Structure 1
């Protein structure tokens, strides 16, 4: 088993049981049921705050193509929530990231994957990469986009720049994966690996892969 370790307001006191139950049910509803209907992000290009629904966001992204589409989604999601290290390894998709207004690197990468898939990007064009950040050093997660020539672009929550993978010498790949395939980086190249043998944050990778669109 391959282990990659890093992936890593209480309710106010109520006066009555009735009030406690009501507050608890409302909190659970907000946390787990309601989608992110609207969110606000800082738009660097217009130097203004922009509020969108998820549907509007996807619709706008769907109208764009290629690098313009990638740059738009990367910019919006990077500026829609705060980057915060996880106190526990808990992956979040787009709705949860927006609702919490904070997330770790894998949450941003996962949110971009979900929105781009919904905006029409074919699934075989994207995967997520767990890597070792040589500058920190720590573990990091990014989204990769495969171009027509087979090379990849990196969408990173720590920068608005979308650079070719070969230009990201600060990242040493560990494993790449999508919903169906996983490959680990070994001796300078990627090789197929059984995701059931890979742990990310103590969870088998095959279990995480099954939920990429559902987190």
Structure 2
């Protein structure tokens, strides 16, 4: 049965196409960015197109950096460039997962949107998606001793399959290892391979169980973006 996700609200100031093409990993080639820029201009105007150009230029200028520096540049750019706005305000829905193009169009998103655009950008910059997971967590509100928690999503990076992950978060721009984020309790994570339970190194379920993630990828593909390994 599909995994049931609670609406994610913690991100504070926060027909059928062939799925085989999609699950191999999401990436934009140079021509894809040309398409992305054109679509941004057509659908959302000059500001969205400018953001797409800036991201394209950042990726092109960062390919020779170390992976840690790639993480820092993408995380800082995305956190600085986009505002947090709750789905109920931005999309008039309780929980909507936006494509990177949609996020550029709105200049805003909530935590899953930040995680998704970081995931795609890091794939484009040369970081293997085997090392990246979109991680669904519970975040404590008001400090680590708080009993109040809310659903949240971050991007996690694993240098090795069994390594301690680094956390790329829209709440705290400093990239920290998981041990320095005691406010976050992992629930599950996912990438193109499947769904991971806890800190497991192998998927425990198929990606087919995450309908929102599949929907995001299919909407991106419908925009004419070619997905590469």
Provide, for residues 154-209 of structure 1, a one-character-per-residue CA deviation record: whole Å limited to 9, x for no partner: 00011111000122111111110001221123xxx5471344445xxxxx266258
Structure 1: runs of 5+ lacking an equivalent: 9-27, 41-51, 199-203
Larger Rg: 1
Provide, for residues 88-119 of structure 1, a one-character-per-residue CA deviation record: whole Å limited to 9, x for no partner: 22212333212201100010111111111001
Which among 137, 147, 155 is matched to residue 143 of structure 1? 155
Distance in 2 separating the partners of 1:150 and 1:119: 21
How far did 1:213 drift?
A: 6.5
1:37 aligns with 2:44: no
Structure with bigger strand share is 1
The one of the two structures with greater contact order (alpha-carbon pairs below 8 A, sep at least 6) is 2
Distance in 1 separating the partners of 2:128 and 2:219: 14
The answer to whether the 8 Å contact 1:128/1:144 transfers is: yes
Structure 2: runs of 5+ lacking an equivalent: 10-40, 142-147, 224-229
The answer to whether the 8 Å contact 1:114/1:212 transfers is: no
Query: RMSD in angstroms over aligned alpha carbons?
Result: 3.1
The answer to whether the 8 Å contact 2:97/2:213 transfers is: no
The answer to whether the 8 Å contact 1:130/1:174 transfers is: yes
Distance in 2 separating the partners of 1:67 and 1:206: 26
Describe the SS at the equivalent of 1:4. coil
Equivalent in the alignment of 1:132: 138
Distance in 2 separating the partners of 1:156 and 1:192: 24
Residues 63 and 94 of structure 1: CA distance in aligned 2, closer, same or farther (over 3 Å): farther
Residues 103 and 159 of structure 1: CA distance in aligned 2, closer, same or farther (over 3 Å): same
1:91 aligns with 2:97: yes
How far did 1:53 drift?
A: 2.5
Describe the SS at the equivalent of 2:51. strand
Structure with bigger helix share is 2
How far did 1:150 drift?
A: 2.0
* 1:1-215 to 2 correspondences below 5 Å: 1=1, 2-7=3-8, 29-31=42-44, 36-39=48-51, 53-87=54-88, 88=93, 89-135=95-141, 137-148=149-160, 150-185=163-198, 190=200, 192-197=204-209, 204=211, 207-208=214-215, 210-211=217-218
How far did 1:210 drift?
A: 4.8
Distance in 1 separating the partners of 2:167 and 2:189: 12
- How many residues are paired up? 177
How far did 1:123 drift?
A: 1.6
